[in-house]
């Protein structure tokens, strides 16, 4: 999918945010810069700016996710937008209405933005092709394809700790095959120019042809962690355990779980990331998750700032407008 064609308007500004793939380095840096301005809002006495007052944002969750929905809901409220939470699987489509009719109905209610979560890869892209010109679509996770706001909050967290992307070695560890997060992270890391991206996983959890994305594949955790600046752990979906793809939880932890001993193989100041919720003792040991090397909770905070940035940008607003709007 050629992300930039649909994601940008004719002036090159962000119109939809569907994927980190195909966006320029300057645009990604722009998102991070805007998020930097919003990061302070969450720490203010009054955690609200009136940037999207009077806008209506619909959380269209075709697949339930309380945590992700909550972060978008908070981002919208802190921008002073009105937010509708629509659990689509249990509403319109159960009445036999087509997806297109559901979208057009919400547009007719003067919604300005759809935040879309869907179990099918490509769903957010498809929806972006269907909506009217004034609507922006943000992908909150589609199948195995992309989860771009997660990737950008990860980039934001890395930049806060490591500044220069071009000197970094980054390892992504776990179920790459089923992970939309990993895919979006790899594209973002590439665009931001990291020195080296590694993926570490058993053969069964690595998608075919992944080397074409420029990553280095490791099956051995110790070899893969050697000398990296950033360790990005993935959540292990427990339902994968039931198939033939994976050994037992214990065996997985033994081979790919992140322990203090293993972390010592990375650089002394390497940071540890995880999109959450974490499975303690499955993909990550508590001694690592709770250590000062872990930036997992910072990722959560940054997630609100990054989502505020993307929501504001796709609506044509920037933090510089705050004074003007108030």
* Minimum CB–partner distance for residue 312 and a second copy (Å): 14
In the complex, least distance from residue 216 CB atom to a second copy, rounded to whole angstroms? 31
Q: Is the backbone peptide bond immediately before 277 cis, with ω within 30 degrees of 0? A: yes
- Give the residue, chosen from 5, 109, 209, 320, that forms a contact with a second copy under the rule CB under 8 A: 109
Report the residue from 6, 22, 29, 42 that binds a second copy according to the rule CB under 8 A: 42
- If one asks whether residue 101 binds a second copy (CB under 8 A), the answer comes out as yes
Q: Is 70 in the site for a second copy (CB under 8 A)?
A: yes
Residue 21's closest CA among 219, 156, 187? 187
Inter-residue contact 23 to 191 (CB < 8 Å): yes
13 binds a second copy (CB under 8 A): no
- The reply on whether position 10 binds a second copy by CB under 8 A is no
48 forms part of the interface with a second copy (CB under 8 A): yes
Q: Which is nearest to 64 in space by CA: 19, 118, 18, 113?
A: 118
Phi, psi torsion values for 51, nearest 5 degrees: -65, -35
CB of 241 to a second copy, least distance (A): 12
Which residues 286-315 are close enough to bind a second copy by CB under 8 A?
Answer: 297-301, 303-304
What is the Cα–Cα distance from 322 to 32, expressed in whole angstroms? 18
Stretch that binds a second copy, among 36-44, 139-147, 200-208, 240-248 (CB under 8 A): 36-44
Give the Å distances, CA to CA, from 91 to 85, 102, 128, 129, 250. Answer: 11, 10, 21, 23, 40
Instruction: Output the smallest distance, CB 282 to a second copy, in A.
Output: 8
Tokens matching residue 90:
């249990």
CB of 206 to a second copy, least distance (A): 24
Q: Would you say the C-alpha torsion 127, 131, 133, 135 has a positive or negative sign?
A: negative
Q: How far apart are CA 265 and CA 255, in angstroms?
A: 14
Q: Calculate the alpha carbon distances from 79 to 11, 34, 42, 60 in Å.
A: 24, 13, 11, 19
Joined together, the tokens standing for residue 37 give: 């301005």
Closer to a second copy by CB, 51 or 225: give it. 51
Could you say which residues in the range 158-177 bind a second copy, by CB under 8 A? none
Using the rule CB under 8 A, which residue among 2, 13, 24, 98 binds a second copy? 98
**Pick 4 or 70: Cβ nearer a second copy:** 70
Query: In which residue are the tokens 């690592």 written?
Result: 288
**Does 37 engage in binding with a second copy (CB under 8 A)?**
no
> Cβ distance 201 to 175 under 8 Å?
yes
Q: Which residues of the chain form contacts with a second copy (CB under 8 A)?
A: 42-48, 53-56, 66-67, 70-71, 73-74, 77-78, 82, 84, 86-87, 90-92, 95-98, 101-102, 104-105, 107-110, 238, 276-280, 297-301, 303-304
């Amino acid at each position: 999918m050629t992300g930039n064609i649909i994601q940008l308007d004719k002036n090159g500004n962000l119109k939809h945010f569907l994927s980190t793939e195909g966006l320029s380095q300057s645009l990604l840096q722009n998102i991070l810069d805007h998020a930097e301005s919003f990061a302070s809002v969450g720490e203010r006495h009054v955690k609200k700016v009136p940037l999207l007052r009077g806008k209506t944002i619909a959380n269209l969750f075709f697949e339930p996710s309380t945590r992700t929905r909550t972060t978008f809901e908070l981002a919208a409220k802190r921008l002073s937008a009105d937010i509708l939470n629509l659990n689509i699987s249990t509403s319109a489509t159960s009445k036999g209405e087509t997806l297109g009719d559901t979208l057009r109905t919400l547009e007719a209610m003067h919604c300005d933005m759809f935040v879309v979560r869907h179990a099918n890869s490509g769903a957010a892209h498809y929806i972006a092709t269907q909506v009217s010109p004034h609507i922006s679509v943000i992908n909150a996770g589609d199948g195995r394809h992309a989860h771009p706001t997660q990737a950008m909050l990860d980039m934001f967290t890395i930049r806060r700790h490591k500044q220069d992307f071009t000197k970094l070695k980054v390892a992504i560890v776990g179920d790459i095959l089923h992970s939309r997060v990993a895919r979006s992270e790899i594209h973002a890391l590439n665009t931001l120019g990291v020195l080296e991206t590694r993926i570490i996983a058993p053969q069964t959890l690595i998608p075919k042809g992944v080397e074409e994305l420029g990553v280095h594949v490791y099956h051995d955790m110790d070899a893969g962690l050697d000398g990296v600046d950033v360790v990005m752990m993935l959540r292990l979906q427990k339902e994968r355990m039931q198939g033939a793809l994976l050994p037992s939880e214990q065996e997985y932890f033994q081979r790919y779980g992140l322990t203090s001993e293993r972390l010592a193989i990375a650089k002394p100041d390497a940071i540890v990331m995880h999109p959450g919720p974490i499975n303690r003792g499955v993909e990550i040991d508590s001694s690592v998750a709770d250590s000062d090397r872990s930036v997992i909770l910072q990722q959560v905070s940054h997630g609100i700032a990054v989502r505020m940035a993307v929501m504001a940008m796709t609506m044509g607003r920037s933090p510089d407008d705050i004074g003007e709007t108030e």
